[in-house]
Amino acid sequence: MSTTDELLKANERYAYSFKLGHLSSPPARKVAVLACMDARLTVEHILGLETGEAHIIRNAGGIATEDALRSLLISHHLLGTQEFIILNHTGCGMLTFKDEELRDRLEKQTGTAAFAPVHFHTFTDLESNLRRQIERVRSHPWIPKHIPVRGFIYDVKTGRLHEVRSSAQTVAA
Ligand SMILES: [Zn+2]
């Protein structure tokens, strides 16, 4: 049995006792979280969120890519979220390789170049990467200035969060 087949069995059990059909689409706690896809992060558990309370947008690294920004814009303008959180974490895999290395490896393995993705968005410093992502979101012309954008590093060994302030926030404070 493949993992997918196992998961489908789990879904049968889930649907049998399903009680969330009453939920509406706009997140009840009006918050959107952009987080790394790392399997050790269960964003709902880390932040005490329940189904229906938040938008959770995930990708490798928790990067404010064009697609993550697209989701945040829809989250705020169409579904009413009023606060954004960006979650990176210790031990992130994106610290362990370089864009060019992976690109070279994949080109060698497949014998072909690809036009996308343009970037893998690897980084070498956790805090400075997180500051850059906060700034990308805060400086977007379609994201209102009153929306708080706060960034945290989740420690995969302790479960704790450590806030990282962007340079603009530090100047303002
Ligand atoms: Zn990660």
> Is residue 64 within 8 Å of 136, Cβ to Cβ?
yes
User: Distance from the CA of 87 to the center of ligand 1, in angstroms?
Assistant: 9
Q: What is the pLDDT of residues 152-161, one digit of tens each?
A: 999 999 999 9
Q: What is the pTM of this model?
A: 0.93
Does position 64 have pLDDT exceeding 70, yes or no?
yes
Rounded to whole angstroms, how far apart are CA atoms 155 and 151? 13
Does position 171 have pLDDT exceeding 80, yes or no?
no
Q: How many residues does the chain have?
A: 173
> Is residue 90 within 8 Å of 154, Cβ to Cβ?
yes
Strand order of the β-sheet with 83-89 is 54-59, 31-36, 83-89, 149-154, 161-164
Does position 168 have pLDDT exceeding 80, yes or no?
no
Of the candidates 53, 15, 61, 2, the residue with the CA atom closest to the CA atom of residue 36: 61
Does position 167 have pLDDT exceeding 90, yes or no?
no
User: Distance from the CA of 91 to the center of ligand 1, in angstroms?
Assistant: 7
Instruction: Using DSSP bridges, classify how beta strands 31-36 and 149-154 pair: parallel, antiparallel or unpaired.
Output: unpaired
Q: What is the pLDDT of residues 80-122, one digit of tens each?
A: 999 999 999 999 999 999 999 999 999 999 999 988 898 999 9
User: Distance from the CA of 163 to the center of ligand 1, in angstroms?
Assistant: 16
**Predicted local distance difference test score (pLDDT) of residue 115:** 85
User: Distance from the CA of 57 to the center of ligand 1, in angstroms?
Assistant: 13
**Predicted local distance difference test score (pLDDT) of residue 166:** 80
Q: What is the pLDDT of residues 4-58, one digit of tens each?
A: 999 999 999 999 999 999 999 999 999 999 999 999 999 999 999 999 999 999 9
User: Distance from the CA of 90 to the center of ligand 1, in angstroms?
Assistant: 8
What is the token pair recorded at 149?
Answer: 């954008």
User: Distance from the CA of 18 to the center of ligand 1, in angstroms?
Assistant: 31
> Is residue 53 within 8 Å of 28, Cβ to Cβ?
yes
What average pLDDT does this structure show over 147-153? 98
